[in-house]
Amino acid sequence: MSEQIKIKDVTPVKIHKPEESANYSARSRIYVRAVEGMLENIRRFFGLIFLGLFAVIPWIQYNGNQAVLFDIGEQRFNIFAMTLWPQDLTILAYIFIVSAFALFFVTTFAGRVWCGFMCPQTTWTFIYIWFEEKIEGSRNKRMKLDERKMDADKFIRKTLKHFAWVSVALLTAITFVGYFTPIDALFVDFFTLDVGFWAGFSIIFFTVCTYGNAGYMREIMCTHICPYARFQSAMFDKDTFTVAYDPSRGEQRGPRSRKIPHEQLEEKGLGDCIDCNLCVQVCPTGIDIRNGLQYECINCGACVDACNGVMDKMGYEKGLISFTSEHQLSGGTTKIIRPKLIGYAVVLLIMTSLLVLDIYTRAPLEIDIIKDRNSLYRETNQGLIENVYTLKLLNKSQNDRTFTVSISGIEGAKYVGESVVNVRGGGVYTLPISVVTSPYSLTEEVTNFTFHVETQDENGEIIKIQETSRFIFTDV
């Protein structure tokens, strides 16, 4: 009872907010200021790569077909040399699981960098902001333009801006729909008004969504709709790298002359922050990073570049706002290797290995057997018993293959129908056949037997699969 109870100081820290005005109201539009810097260049680099891949991939051809095509109508996904069918649900599940754990791993290590550097919402939002800057001017000019009454200049600028927005949204929608229907015909059919109903509806729908999300909703998608902002804290720890402000160095903040030597700041009770609010003005979600870690922060690093630029002009050391960890801010050392990160890495490695193994061991052909439901069996003129089947032969490769079909398991049974068929790459061949045998060779009402299908791959190796079915005769 003599031990002293440790008490933690929970005195609330003074929160510094920008002056109250419509520009910073949660329900008013955020005017994002342009910024230059290393992180901004990295973000643009990744954004251009993502945008380029998104635009180019559906135009790539493989073996005379669209290399990536998710054909929902035909229930097959073509990804270069691989064709996925509904039977390949495990591969799709593995892909989603690997993607999820990769996101968890990256978030644990470097925070919400996916949102800031690769998320389509962020990429398209910055594209729209770029058009705003080129057509309407800088942040201050855009604010003054919106305050003006409508005149010829304002009308022209607004019209050009929205025309550019709609054009980007339309091209985005057509490209996206092009992943689900052949894109070369889609472009021609859409602009000649010959497109199908669902393709046309999808293009209009995604055009409106892109225009609304990137043009108007912007930060609302990140702060109120996207669930990632809500559960990301479960993956954070004190060693997670995230954008943060160093209050021990920046406080007390306040304006000052550049002529004041840095060494005299402490005598005046000032930190390195000059309270210019540029970190707020460049933030696409409109937050003040100096208030601490906030779920609205997307880790785009715009405030880091803005602050570094100010520090450079003032002659101060950069890094007042930086990618850092809670441990490092408190004077400790960031632990890169830690149990949570190792756990995510191990699970990611296991799931990736299972995905690769599933793809590697996946047979390039498959057979579905459909028993005739109209007649369980019938007796032929020769007194033989016949069962009718429909075989669905799936060629999962992108190359045309020759399949050979045979049966085993019933003594004296005869296979009636085509035994050698050619199936186009990524196609399905419907093969009606029948199996006949003498009733004296059947000892049970239901006899199991096996269909065998074999083919050769590009290297001449034999690939075989088999599927069990049932032969029915009730007068045994």
Specify the pTM: 0.80
Segment 101-107 mean pLDDT:
92
* Lowest mean pLDDT across 239-243, 263-267, 393-397: 263-267
10 Å CB burial of residue 274 (0-12, 13-18, 19+) is: buried
pLDDT in tens, 120-174: 999 999 999 999 999 999 999 999 999 999 999 999 999 999 999 999 999 999 9
User: Which residue, among 245, 375, 398, 386, has the nearest Cα to 323 in the 3D structure?
Assistant: 245
Is 23 or 311 the better-scoring residue by pLDDT? 311
d(CA 470, CA 436): 12
Percent of the chain with pLDDT over 70: 94
pLDDT greater than 50 at residue 326: yes
Determine phi and psi for 78, rounding to 5 degrees. -95, 120
Instruction: Report whether pLDDT(4) > 80.
Output: no
Indicate the pLDDT class of residue 6, thresholds 50, 70 and 90.
low
Residue 365 has pLDDT above 70, yes or no: yes
Cβ atoms 66, 183 nearer than 8 A: yes
pLDDT, tens digit (0-9, with 9 covering 90-100), for 82-91: 888 887 888 8
Least confident range from 35-44, 382-391, 457-466: namely: 457-466
Q: How confident is the model at residue 476 (pLDDT cuts 50, 70, 90)?
A: low
247 touches 290 (CB < 8 A): yes
More confident residue, 426 or 387: 387
Q: By the 8 A CB rule, do 106 and 113 touch?
A: yes
Instruction: Scan for tokens 């497109």, then name that residue.
Output: 195
Confidence of residue 331 (pLDDT cuts 50, 70, 90): confident
Query: Would the pLDDT of 23 be above 50?
Result: no
20: closest CA among 401, 210, 280, 392?
280
Domains and CATH numbers, the chain: 31-84+119-217 (no CATH), 365-472 (2.60.40.10)
Amino acid letter, 194: D
| Start-end of H helices in 14-88 | 38-56
Rounded mean pLDDT of the chain? 88
